[in-house]
Amino acid sequence: MATLTQNIENRVRKLPKPSNATQGLQPLFEAVSNSIYAIEDLLGANVAKGKVSIRVKSLSDSDKIEIVVADAGIGLDAKRYEAFCEIDTDFKRAKGGKGVGRLFWLDAFSSILVESVYDSPSGRLRRAFSFVLENDDQVKPSQEDEPAPGASTGTTITFRGLRTKEYADTFPKRADTFLRYFSAHFIADFLLGSGPAIIVDLDGDVTTYPNAVAELTIGAPLKTGAFELKQFGELSIIGFTCKAEASTGLDGKHQLHLLANGRTVETRKVDSLLGVTDLTRDANKDLVFHGCVSGEYLDLRVNEGRTAFNLTEKTLNEISRNCMEQVRTKLLPAQVEAYVEARKENYQSFVSRYPTFGFDDDDTQLQRVPFHATTAEDFAAGLVKYQIRREEDRQKTLQALIDTLELQNIPQDFDKAVSDAAREIQTSEQLALAQHVVRRKLALELMEKLIKRLRARKEKEDDHFLEKTLHSFICPMNVRGDDPTEVKSRAHELWIVDERLAFTRAFSSDKRLDAIMANGGSAERPDLLVWNLAYGLGVTETESVDTSEPLRTMMIVEFKRPGRRDYKEAEDQIEAQIIKYLGQLQGGQLESFDRARIRVAGDCIFYCYVVADIVGDLEQQLSNWETTANGQGRIRPLKNQYRGSIEVIQWQDLVNDAWNRNKATIHAAGLSRSKPTHIEASMVAAKKPEQVFDPAGS
């Protein structure tokens, strides 16, 4: 009868090739695992008394590299030698061995020498052989059953030269890199402390395991005991809290090691599943978690190279999720409880800043986001789909109610459906309003801080940029609102000046008059020129300004540096500066961005505002002006050919008026104005009730 024969060269050629350092080291890992098994076979329960020695020379040179793996194990006796010579042997099946690890050696290394001392019925013997990649006679003995009196049992394997480009490219070339990946692969074994000592000598630099890893653990191991998982049977987890260095070379901080037959097969990052950011223990901070998972389900489903499980990614994720649930509830309950409380506080802070996401109670919303979610972006990303679904359902409900009204017979419970829909609309609008108010509150607080800083710095030139910052905050500088290509012109806060300007685009900010007028105009640059107040009263930005009728009202706003006291120059005269603008605008034509011309009526009413602190020279300059209703500002009507008025408004009045206009909604949103500083308080202490700022005089 004929027997099937092995084509070893073809079998090795078809082995999976390494694509990273972990896979590049896999042949060495196989040799070390074999040494550990040999020590277990010899010492049994006393395996921790054994030793594996790994000596590496010329690590950086793939052609000259030499690695010697030596153990004081049971050695290659007749039975084990026979198993070594049989591909796909089931000799180590009970321990998860697949009998193919030696093929990875042939794939990786150019030269492999094996020497072993073992006991036999006739005494202690020695054998030595070369292991080569050929279809016939892969094992080439140089010594066979030679007496070795006085020698210790064990096996020494010498690997030289990396045979293929794939291994040469992926094998670590630095000692620290080698140790990181070596530690990462065997870390579960080292943490469990159930194996022999492993001594790694890298060109004379010695590291001893498991001591090197044991020094990184804090406190005693944490054990779940056996627990049952549906579909996965009985599993158990031994957990360790470690210093952060224990995760060096691994992806992420916290790790779950899935073991098969006591050996690590796969390590998975579980930062998002653990969630806990603070594992403080025994006064140690910045700790990481490492959990070792064992069970028969995993033992039976590992591939022949013990490099991966024969399981789908979905199944491995499910096992990891279930195991980490056990870790959270059984091993780290106190840390998880503290994390959950901190996470809830983070979420509540998030909703206070972004109220539109608070459309359900806190516990419901937190269940909808990943357990590791703690930042605003995390919460928003997790909740946005529920927000969209809610709005979609609400719109469908409203459309259904509209359709019902078309029916001849309206259901008796129609009033309840309408009432429920109205309540949903009201809730949605309240959330949107709260979001709007939160943004406005922050804007006003920032503005107050800017004003305070400018006053405190007085007129130091190095803070000149802050003056521009204040102007730019209210309205970006050197832009036209009607320029559709100018995105930043839409980011203005003109509602601070007048509520009706919240959405206006009919303005220019710090633009030369000769750039916005059809004919004439000078290099003068009004801080803010608004030429269509109606635009702020309801005309949408897609509607064009009516150019057939001349402008009857215009607004001019000048911003003076808060705290400024020096107005000695001729151009600093407030009234003279405003009249310069009016002389060019009245009876002229503005040219809109689309080249349409907008006439300014000869009897146009100009509402001119100067925002300043009335102190120093300005206080003297305005001494014969009328005071405004609140007693703080100054006002003067325009004379002769100009109609309108010039009003000087204190910076703090501008801010206070904006606060007052938004007071009701800020209060309704559960917010409050920050307490004024002593500078601000002193300025408003004698104030009369603030007037509502109304440029159109309505």
Least confident of 221-230, 484-493, 530-539: 530-539
Higher pLDDT, 607 or 410: 607
What percent of the chain lies above the pLDDT cut of 90? 46
Tokens of 585: 């605008």
Question: How do residues 325-371 score in pLDDT, each as one tens digit?
Answer: 999 999 999 889 989 999 999 999 988 888 888 888 899 999 999 98
The beta strands (E) that lie in 203-282 are given as: 205-209, 217-223, 227-229, 233-243, 255-260, 263-269
Q: Which phi and psi (to 5°) does residue 8 adopt?
A: -65, -40
Residues near 506 by beta carbon (within 8 Å), at least 6 away in sequence: 481, 482, 530, 531, 532, 535, 536, 545
Cis ω for the linkage preceding 676 (within 30 of 0)? no
How far apart CA 689 and CA 118 sit, in angstroms, is 102
The pLDDT assigned to 536 comes to: 39
DSSP per residue over 30-96, as a string? HHHHHHHHHHHHHHGGGGGG-EEEEEEE-TT-TTT-EEEEEE-S----HHHHHHHTSTT--TTGGGT
What percent of the chain lies above the pLDDT cut of 70? 87
- If pLDDT is split at 50, 70 and 90, which confidence band does 697 have? very low
Question: How do residues 371-388 score in pLDDT, each as one tens digit?
Answer: 888 899 999 999 989 888
Instruction: Output b/e per residue, 566-575; b: 16+ Cβ within 10 A.
Output: ebeeeeeebb
Instruction: Judge whether 102 and 84 are in contact, CB under 8 Å.
Output: yes
The sign of the torsion formed by the CA atoms of 289, 292, 293, 299 equals: positive
The pLDDT assigned to 98 comes to: 42
Model pTM score? 0.57
pLDDT tops 60 at residue 462 = no
The pLDDT assigned to 489 comes to: 67
- If pLDDT is split at 50, 70 and 90, which confidence band does 29 have? very high
Mean pLDDT of 32-48: 91
Higher pLDDT, 457 or 562: 562
- Residue in 67, 10, 23, 14 with CA at minimum distance from that of residue 306: 23
Longest dimension (CA), the chain: 130
- If pLDDT is split at 50, 70 and 90, which confidence band does 86 have? confident
* Domain residue ranges of the chain, discontinuous segments joined by +: 8-205, 216-331, 341-410, 458-684
Residue 62: other Cβ atoms inside 10 A: 18
pLDDT tops 60 at residue 543 = no
Give the end-to-end CA distance of the chain in Å, rounded to a whole number.
Answer: 111
The pLDDT assigned to 671 comes to: 62
Higher pLDDT, 664 or 452: 452
H helices within 193-308, ranges in order? 211-214, 271-274, 296-299
H helices within 260-299, ranges in order? 271-274, 296-299
Q: What share of the chain is helix, strand, coil (3-state, %, to 5)?
A: 40, 25, 35
Higher pLDDT, 536 or 582: 582
How far apart CA 458 and CA 455 sit, in angstroms, is 5
The pLDDT assigned to 94 comes to: 45
Average pLDDT, the chain: 84
The pLDDT assigned to 194 comes to: 77
Q: What H or E segment, with its residue span, contains residue 418?
A: helix 414-457
Question: How do residues 410-437 score in pLDDT, each as one tens digit?
Answer: 777 777 777 777 777 667 766 776 777 7
- In one letter, which amino acid is 391? E
The pLDDT assigned to 93 comes to: 42
- If pLDDT is split at 50, 70 and 90, which confidence band does 652 have? very high
Mean pLDDT of 107-116: 96
Instruction: Judge whether 483 and 491 are in contact, CB under 8 Å.
Output: no
How far apart CA 629 and CA 649 sit, in angstroms, is 11
The pLDDT assigned to 221 comes to: 92
Tell the CATH topology of 216-331: Ribosomal Protein S5; domain 2 (3.30.230)
- In one letter, which amino acid is 324? M
Higher pLDDT, 669 or 56: 56
Query: Domain 8-205: which CATH class?
Result: alpha beta
Instruction: Judge whether 372 and 378 are in contact, CB under 8 Å.
Output: yes
- If pLDDT is split at 50, 70 and 90, which confidence band does 157 have? very high
The pLDDT assigned to 680 comes to: 37
Rounded to 10 degrees, the C-alpha dihedral 344/345/347/351 comes to 130
- If pLDDT is split at 50, 70 and 90, which confidence band does 669 have? low
Higher pLDDT, 677 or 55: 55
- In one letter, which amino acid is 603? D
Tokens of 252: 């992420």
